[in-house]
Chain A
Amino acid sequence: MKYAYFPGCCDHTSAKEYDISTRAVCKNLGIELIDIPDWSCCGSTPGHSTSHLLGVALSARNLALVEEMGLDCTASCAACYQRLALANMEMKNDMKLCEKINCITGKPYHGGVKVKSIVEVVAELGPEQITARVLKPLENLKMAVYYGCLMVRPKEIQVDDPENPQIIDKLMRTVGGEVVDWSYKTECCGGGLAISNEDIVLRLTNKILKEAVDAGVNCIVTACPLCHFNLDMRQKKINKIFGTNYHLPVFYFTQLIGLATGLKPGELSLETHFVDTREVIKLIA
């Protein structure tokens, strides 16, 4: 398996754990990720919120670069995945738009790329292949898998059922974790409103943390840098404002697969979380 890898702009900053663990786990599982030379920002929410053309163009530029590589594309970041996948769909379905965008980017894209979330790429390995590599099953980890919005909606690009997704749950069970059924799997954390309207995000994120704690878990699993940042970094502030006392480590699913398949915490950047992860990791026998 070989994919052109789109790490997203936060790969060396706020989401570096995701990038580091994705690369390490893929290498370990035999998925070859090739960096896209000259890749640029997908546009994210500010792009499409400002102008439909801008949103599509910023993503399409990258699709054109991938097309030159002759590979299909995978993105770790859920926002990047959604933007690239939606742009890909629009470019393929709307010839007029495709022509217009190619003219704007100056890099013609012909619709020859498939865009997959890294979650799909890993899941496609199948349980047998992953189980074969498990060295340390994630016993004693009771997790709430939090999917957020961007990879399950809208339906044109959904990775799984938006009401009760299972794809990461299954992966976590495959590596020996216990997964709970809870109602907030795909409730929104407020995502991109964090900087401009932090109070909204704190309120939404608080609800998600509360539900997870009520479900009796000892960690949250995610596959989205925006969700991760809100749940992990803002936990302290939420405790302060709402008088709560959460101490819930938030992992990327890749970090947990990494641990189960024998990678060291240091190789998965587990020390750069805001909520200390060591206690929970110790639970794994």
Chain B
Amino acid sequence: MPAINLTSNVKDNLDFIMHVSKESGQPVQHCYQCGKCTAGCPVAFAMDYPPNRIIRMVQLGLKEHVLKSQAIWLCAYCSTCTSRCPRNVNLARVMDCLRGMARREGIQLEGRAKKIALFYDCFLDTVKRNGKLYELGMMLNYNLKTGHFFKDAGTGLAMFTKGKIKLIPTKNENYKDLAQIFERIEEMEEKC
């Protein structure tokens, strides 16, 4: 990362800092960079920025860096960081909030992050249609969109032999309610 001019950066992105604190409900500015979150993060090794750096970048208003990062998507919401944070910052919530912002801002994702976001979409797509997760449908859709048509085919076959895959989706009675929930939220979030 090149040298950052803190005077201009923090001022220009004050809105971003406030917004993250407000939407996540977390006192991001309390973090004193002890690094206990990073120290315990199981996925940190795969991240482009470790969790404490993400918080620091939020503190300094590095909005673009944060929202384009792989790290916010790689966070598995295991909350190890949250449970050990001496300043009571729920980092997992902050990561959730940043993912939501990245989506709303239409950030173009790459690499691991792109695949994670796509998986979430495919998962939710089946929930939206059926009211419940439809594992086979999700997998086929995911493979179609990533272009790896036979990824996990072995897994699928193994699961099939154990009777752990259903060919047709299970739906709840009023599954159409779910599509409505998705639509209402989309409307609401577009407005703000």
Query: B158: CB under 8 A from chain A?
Result: yes
- Cross-interface CB contact of A40 among B76, B83, B131, B163, cutoff 8 Å: B131
- A-B CB pair tally, cutoff 8 Å: 168
Instruction: Note all chain B residues with C-beta closer than 8 A to A155.
Output: 82-83
B-side interface size class:
35 or more
Q: Are B189 and A53 in contact (CB under 8 A)?
A: yes
Q: Are B46 and A200 in contact (CB under 8 A)?
A: yes
Q: Are A197 and B133 in contact (CB under 8 A)?
A: no
A104 and B99 CA atoms in complex are apart in Å by: 21
Instruction: Note all chain B residues with C-beta closer than 8 A to A203.
Output: 45
Hey, what's the 0/1 contact readout for B172-188 against A, CB within 8 Å counting as 1? Answer: 11110110111011001
Instruction: Tell me the smallest distance from the CB of B177 to a CB of chain A, in Å.
Output: 7
Query: B32: CB under 8 A from chain A?
Result: no
Q: Are B78 and A52 in contact (CB under 8 A)?
A: no
Q: Are A105 and B116 in contact (CB under 8 A)?
A: no
A187 and B45 CA atoms in complex are apart in Å by: 15
Query: A214: CB under 8 A from chain B?
Result: no
| Residue in B closest to A207 when the chains form the complex, CB atoms | B42
Instruction: Note all chain A residues with C-beta closer than 8 A to B170.
Output: 9, 12
Query: A123: CB under 8 A from chain B?
Result: no
Q: Are B173 and A51 in contact (CB under 8 A)?
A: no
Instruction: Tell me the smallest distance from the CB of A101 to a CB of chain B, in Å.
Output: 9
Instruction: Note all chain A residues with C-beta closer than 8 A to B92.
Output: 154
Q: Are A46 and B177 in contact (CB under 8 A)?
A: no
Query: B16: CB under 8 A from chain A?
Result: no
Seen from chain B, the residues whose Cβ lies within 8 Å of a Cβ on chain A are 23, 42-43, 45-46, 74, 76-80, 82-83, 90, 92, 96-97, 99-100, 103, 112, 115-116, 118-121, 123-124, 127, 131-133, 135, 139, 142, 152, 155, 158-159, 162-166, 170, 172-175, 177-178, 180-182, 184-185, 188-189
Seen from chain A, the residues whose Cβ lies within 8 Å of a Cβ on chain B are 9-10, 12-14, 16, 37-41, 43-55, 57-58, 61, 100, 103-107, 149, 152-155, 158, 162-163, 186-188, 190-193, 195-197, 200, 203-204, 233, 272, 274
